[in-house]
């Protein structure tokens, strides 16, 4: 069945919007420097025998799992596994904590269980206002973790509490999520190359 003109127009619009966000990211030297700083922060933790924790809700949970997999598996180079843990994967923990303590604590409770000083928490929230992500960052800071927030353009509440806030220059959730994966892939590639050679 051939695509209609309106369907093709929608495809063009979606791809064009994605490209516009990526161009805006590339043109913003402050943003590029923040991504570099995030990569250095994670690299330093891994070199010191620490680990990366990741958290997000919904599509951002899937993105957190995706990024964790790039570290534990491989990105481009055949090498040893790197310690990265997405906090959204244990459904028994999520549902037990959600039931017993409330959904706002599903990530903070796991941070308190698994984190050590010097670890890094990478938290994804397109709005920057997810309460359970906010509480996870507060817990991480209290436990002396380094913290990185991946958000949309405003940064929301996370902007004021994360050590680094990588704000995608968009307010459109799908475009923000697409950019989050690009940032995750970029950090994965930098870290892997620095640890294991190009």
* pLDDT greater than 90 at residue 74: yes
Range of the domain at 33: 5-196
In the chain, pLDDT over 70 holds for what percent of residues? Answer: 98
pLDDT at 5: 87
Question: Mean of the pLDDT values across residues 9-27?
Answer: 97
pLDDT of 186 over the 90 cut: yes
C-alpha distances (whole Å) from 116 to each of 34, 108, 121 are: 24, 13, 11
Amino acid 1: pLDDT: 63
Model confidence at 183: pLDDT above 70: yes
How does DSSP classify residue 2? P
Report the domain count for the chain. 1
| Confidence category of residue 61, pLDDT binned at 50, 70, 90 | very high
- Looking at residues 93-112, what average pLDDT do you find? 97
97: domain CATH number is 3.40.50.10490
β-bridge pairing 52-56 and 84-86: parallel
* Contact present, 147 and 137 (Cβ < 8 Å): yes
Structure confidence at residue 198 (pLDDT): 66
| pLDDT of 7 over the 90 cut | yes
Give pLDDT tens digits for 136-163.
999 999 999 999 999 999 999 999 999 9
Q: What's the predicted TM-score (pTM) here?
A: 0.95
Predicted confidence at residue 63, as pLDDT, reads 98
Q: What is the pLDDT of residue 187?
A: 98
pLDDT > 90 fraction of the chain, expressed in percent and rounded: 96
Q: Of 172, 189, 126, whose CA–CA distance to 20 is shortest?
A: 172
d(CA 27, CA 45): 29
Q: How far apart are CA 140 and CA 145, in angstroms?
A: 5
């Amino acid at each position: 069945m051939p695509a209609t003109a309106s369907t093709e127009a929608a495809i063009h619009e979606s791809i064009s919007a994605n490209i516009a966000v990526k161009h805006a990211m590339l043109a913003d030297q402050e943003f590029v420097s923040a991504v570099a700083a995030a990569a250095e922060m994670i690299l330093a933790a891994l070199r010191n025998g620490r680990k990366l924790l990741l958290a997000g809700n919904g599509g951002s949970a899937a993105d957190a799992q995706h990024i964790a997999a790039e570290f534990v598996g491989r990105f481009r180079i055949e090498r040893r596994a790197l310690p990265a843990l997405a906090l959204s994967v244990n459904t028994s923990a999520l549902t037990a904590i959600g039931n017993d303590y409330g959904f706002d604590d599903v990530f903070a409770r796991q941070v308190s269980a698994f984190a050590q000083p010097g670890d890094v928490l990478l938290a994804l929230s397109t709005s920057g206002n997810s309460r359970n992500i906010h509480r996870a960052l507060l817990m991480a800071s209290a436990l002396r973790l380094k913290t990185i927030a991946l958000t949309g353009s405003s940064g929301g509440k996370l902007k004021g509490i994360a050590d680094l806030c990588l704000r995608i220059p968009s307010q459109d959730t799908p475009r923000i999520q697409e950019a989050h994966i690009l940032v995750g892939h970029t950090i994965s590639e930098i870290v892997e190359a620095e640890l294991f050679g190009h």
